Structures are given as structure tokens and as C-alpha cells.
Amino acid sequence: MLWRPGRRPTPAAAGIVADEAIVDDSPEIAALAQRASRLEARALECVRNDRVLFRDLDAALEPGQVLQVEGPNGCGKTSLLRILCGLSLPGAGEVYWGDAPLPEVRTEYYEALAYIGHRHGVKGELTPIENLRFHRALAGGTPDRVPGDALVHLGLEGFEDVPCRTLSEGQRRRVALARLLTTRRPLWILDEPLTALDRSGVAVVEGLIRDHARSGGMVMITTHQAIRLEGCVLGRLRLGG
């Protein structure tokens, strides 16, 4: 991982370094270096079906921050998140990770990113534990909790070994969210993560986001539901007027 000594971690990120004696190439320092990066969108434009969804959109996400994207249906929230993930290209403008435009630091960016979209990428034919194991191997990087623990945390105890297609929509969404716990990623981009979740599920997700932001992570989220994130540095980005 790139660790530039010249760049000081921000206070929010510095909070997690308790030990001065950490050697430079340790995973903690690497994780911190990632955390010290920021996500920035400069003058983004998105056009869909000859309609301008947004133009000259600037946004920045710093370590320790949560940014909630708001707006009515069809205003371009998902399009924005997909552009920030590098999945689609903006009509104009650029996304920066740290100091570099996204296409130049693609691999480093994807080592830092966890994205859960509308289609959450949970395989119906696989069990939750198989899904998580595969994603963990795919993600590489610093492993965090083992898949079993992550599922328990998401309230899926006892469902580890049944095919995901037999689970309810809300449970499948929980399996997708459990991915956030199995590998350490500083940047979470979550598109409607609360869809189909019950009240306890929403509370778990709120807890995940709070903990992540407190430990210097970054979260970008869209949701139509009320979400309680006390104690977080919460920014709002409003699309569609």
C-alpha cells in the first residue's frame, strides 16, 4: 500500500492510532494510509435518456464522514454512486481518490472500496457462508471478521447453510451487508441498504455505519428511510433541486 510520509492523517483518522511504535509497513499503517485518502467529485455531469440528471456537481467525502445523498426517485442517486464506483463514466467531470483521478489509481481505489448496490451480488444457489467466503477471497486485502461472525452480527444465526434463494429479500440484503464486516474497507458506498430490512435490521446497519465512521471510515449512502446516525459527521447532498 502507498504510504506517503508527507501526508499527515486527519485527526479523525489519527484517533485509531493508539500505538506510536507501529512499524511503517504494518497493515494498520497501510489501512490508515487508505483512510487518509479522500473521495472527491469535481464538476460531475450525468445525462440519461437525453435528460440532464445533474451538472457541475461537486462533493467531497473525508475520513470519518458520512454523506447522505437525497432526492426524489429518478434524480440520479444511483447513477451518481455508480459513477463514484467507477462503474459508469460521467458525462463530464472527474472523480478523485486522494490526489489522483480515479482511472489512474483504480486498483488502490478498489482495495479501499466496498459497494453494495440495488442488485447486491448475493448468489441464490450458494449459502450465505459460501457467498461471504467467496467475496472475501475476491476482495483480498486485510481480512476482518470471519464470515460466520459477520452473519451472526447481521442476525442470520442458523441460516448459514441454507441456499440464499430460500431466504427472504431482507435476509439476502443482510447477507450482502455482512460483506462489509468480512474485509476491512475504508470507503463504503451503499445504495439503499435499508430496503427490505425490518426495524432490527435497520438498527444493525445504523450501528455498522456509526462504528465505521467513528473509526475513521467513510460512508456514502442513499436511503428514503429515516436513518439515525447520532454522533456522526453527517453531510447531505441533495440532487434534483
Residues that bind another protein (CB under 8 A): 85-89, 107-108, 110-111, 113, 115, 117-126, 130, 133-141, 143, 163
The minimum distance between CB 179 and another protein, in angstroms, equals 9
Closer CB to another protein, residue 109 or residue 232? 109
Closer CB to another protein, residue 28 or residue 206? 28
Residues 6+ apart with CB under 8 A from 83: 41, 44, 46, 89, 90, 95
Mapping DSSP to helix (H, G, I), strand (E, B) and coil, where does residue 199 land?
A: helix
Closer CB to another protein, residue 67 or residue 122? 122
Mapping DSSP to helix (H, G, I), strand (E, B) and coil, where does residue 160 land?
A: coil
Closer CB to another protein, residue 135 or residue 153? 135
Closest CA to 44 of 91, 77, 86: 91
The minimum distance between CB 233 and another protein, in angstroms, equals 25
The minimum distance between CB 58 and another protein, in angstroms, equals 22
Residues 6+ apart with CB under 8 A from 54: 44, 45, 46, 75, 76, 80, 239, 240
Q: How far apart are CA 140 and CA 1, in angstroms?
A: 13
The minimum distance between CB 126 and another protein, in angstroms, equals 7
Instruction: Give the length of the chain.
Output: 241
